[in-house]
Amino acid sequence: MLGNLKSQPADKILELMQLYKDDPREQKIDLGVGVYKNAKGETPIMRAIKTAEKQVWESQTSKSYVGLAGDPAFAAALRDLVLGDSVDAGRVAAAATPGGTGAVRQGFELLRQANRDVHVWVSSPTWPNHLSILKFMGQPFTEYRYFDEATCTVDFDGMMDSLKGVKAGDAVLLHGCCHNPTGANLTLDQWKTVTEFLAKTGAVPFVDIAYQGFGDGLDEDAAGLRHLASALPETIIAASCSKNFGVYRERTGLLMAISESDADKPVTQGTLNYLNRQNYSFPPDHGARIVTQVLTDDALRADWKDELENVRLSMLGLREQLAKELRERTNSDRFDFIARHRGMFSRIGASPEEVLKMREQFGIYMVGDSRMNIAGLNSETVPLLAEAIARTCK
């Protein structure tokens, strides 16, 4: 039987990581892998996480199962962080998942439970796991325009035009703050326009959010999502703690499903529990318990917010420095959008040929569509990248 298996396409990011490792040059820059790095090129454990983990280790007396939906305290803490007071908690069902990708998968499964023929609308570009999961599930989907390659900004008119085919019963996958791989975000006014559109069509929004706090601040980054959730009867949200808590390997995520009323929540919650049971039974708890400890302890929460703010400001500083270096080298404002983008990523509009040239001639490793991880830079490597871009991108 196993002899009938076929080779699966290689992951482009993993291939890029291997190419970088195999490159013998001392002067090389890895902008491909999607994890936060500090100025030393390290992905550190946040101070509050380290302290909370020790506290959990010292106080925990059992490793028994928690429950199919995970610890309710974790769901409550993360719900409050993401949604604030925008939605009545009595309407929000939630289940812990193995990371944000686990939440996305369970979200698609939830939609299919509610409507076997659900059609999902996905932005172009989006993250590969979105399309990969939908294809694996055999779920029909349509891509909608999102990014203007010429200006490296959101093509909002194109986005709304390409969503004209959305109808009641469909689901529209949206990116939370800093989440689209291009680095270009919807403004609050654009979130409001999307909300009005979804209200008219009767489609359900599905928001993937993993970078809250990386853009303009914790509350500012959640403003668009909170407006949408407060104005619509139903919303699905996949939240990840990997990035803003730095617990990548702990696989800590949460799927939230906002029902139209409190009366609908029990069935929705029961369905989330059922889906967890079918996929992995009980979700991982260690990362969720650490995050809960941080969010429910005033001192730890304050320390986490302080460190997260330093991470945010560091990336903004790198963006501004790179935009300035490119302005000086190109004598134009062509790359000023880099300073306006938010989060870890930016798509700079280079062709695959130009990306390859930067890799071969300058040791700059970024994804073929020119997406780069800003957090892979430091103040000393920014000029090197700027020189490579200026000499390569025409």
pLDDT exceeds 90 at position 367:
yes
Instruction: Determine the average pLDDT of the residues in 277-306.
Output: 98
Which is higher by pLDDT, 200 or 17? 200
Residue count (the chain):
394
- 195 phi and psi, to 5 degrees? -60, -45
Check if the beta carbon of residue 215 is closer than 8 Å to that of residue 343: yes
Residue 161, C-beta contacts closer than 8 angstroms, at least 6 positions apart: 145
Does residue 114 sit in the same domain as residue 233? yes
Active site residues: 127, 208, 210, 243
Residue 205's CATH number: 3.40.640.10
Instruction: Determine the average pLDDT of the residues in 48-53.
Output: 98
Q: What is the pLDDT of residue 33?
A: 82
Distance CA 280, CA 342 (A): 34
Does residue 113 sit in the same domain as residue 193? yes
Does residue 133 sit in the same domain as residue 280? yes
Q: What is the pLDDT of residue 8?
A: 85
Q: Percent of the chain, pLDDT > 90?
A: 94
103-153 pLDDT per residue, tens: 999 999 999 999 999 999 999 999 999 999 999 999 999 999 999 999 999
Among 238, 270, 296, the domain-final residue is 296
The mean pLDDT value of the chain amounts to 96
Q: How far is CA 24 from the centre of its chain?
A: 32
pLDDT exceeds 90 at position 356:
yes
61-98 pLDDT per residue, tens: 999 999 999 999 999 999 999 999 999 999 999 999 99
Tell me if 54 is assigned to some domain: no
Q: What is the pLDDT of residue 285?
A: 97
* Spatial CA neighbour of 344 closest among 240, 228, 211: 211
Instruction: Determine the average pLDDT of the residues in 355-383.
Output: 95
**Helix (H) or strand (E) run with residue 175 in it:** strand 171-175
Q: What is the pLDDT of residue 394?
A: 79
Does residue 289 sit in the same domain as residue 309? no
3-20 pLDDT per residue, tens: 999 998 877 888 888 999
Distance CA 378, CA 162 (A): 38
Q: What is the pLDDT of residue 243?
A: 96
Does residue 242 sit in the same domain as residue 381? no
Does residue 229 sit in the same domain as residue 321? no
Does residue 36 sit in the same domain as residue 81? no
229-273 pLDDT per residue, tens: 999 999 999 999 999 999 999 999 999 999 999 999 999 999 999
Q: What is the pLDDT of residue 119?
A: 98
Q: Percent of the chain, pLDDT > 70?
A: 100
Instruction: Determine the average pLDDT of the residues in 304-309.
Output: 98
Q: How far is CA 88 from the centre of its chain?
A: 24
Tell me if 314 is assigned to some domain: yes
pLDDT exceeds 90 at position 207:
yes
Check if the beta carbon of residue 144 is closer than 8 Å to that of residue 180: no
Among 255, 270, 296, the domain-final residue is 296
Among 273, 296, 319, the domain-final residue is 296
How many domains does one find in the chain?
A: 2
Q: What is the pLDDT of residue 271?
A: 98
Q: What is the pLDDT of residue 39?
A: 86
Does residue 221 sit in the same domain as residue 305? no
Q: What is the pLDDT of residue 12?
A: 80
pLDDT exceeds 90 at position 40:
no
Does residue 315 sit in the same domain as residue 275? no
Q: Which domain holds residue 348?
A: 11-44+301-392
Tell me if 207 is assigned to some domain: yes
